[in-house]
Amino acid sequence: MFTIEHTFDCTVVTLVDEGAAPLGEDVIINAFEDCVTLSQYDAQQDKVVKITMSFAQVRDLEAALDLPEGIYQFADKDGETD
């Protein structure tokens, strides 16, 4: 299950683990104008852990989910790499 909320400065997507036990903590994704943050509560550290990704990294992650093992690099329309 997931939820989507639009706030003043970002879109918030919350991923809820509904699978068989043990369940993972919710993952909260904030899409801002210039970056995306992912956060999740870590019970071992008793704190929320957050990472920040550029939109280029999000694009690469999206592509990686559908590609076989290997090393890849996007090329722009002129054939130059990103």
| pLDDT tens-place string over residues 13-44 | 999 999 888 889 999 999 999 999 999 999 99
> Domain tally for the chain?
1
Indicate the pairing of strand 47-53 with strand 36-42.
antiparallel
65 pLDDT above the threshold of 90: no
* Assigned domain for 21 exists: yes
Name the residue range of residue 54's domain: 2-64
pTM for the full predicted model? 0.81
Q: 53 near 38, Cβ under 8 Å?
A: yes
Fill in the DSSP letter of residue 81.
B
**58 or 81: which leads in pLDDT:** 58
**74 or 60: which leads in pLDDT:** 60
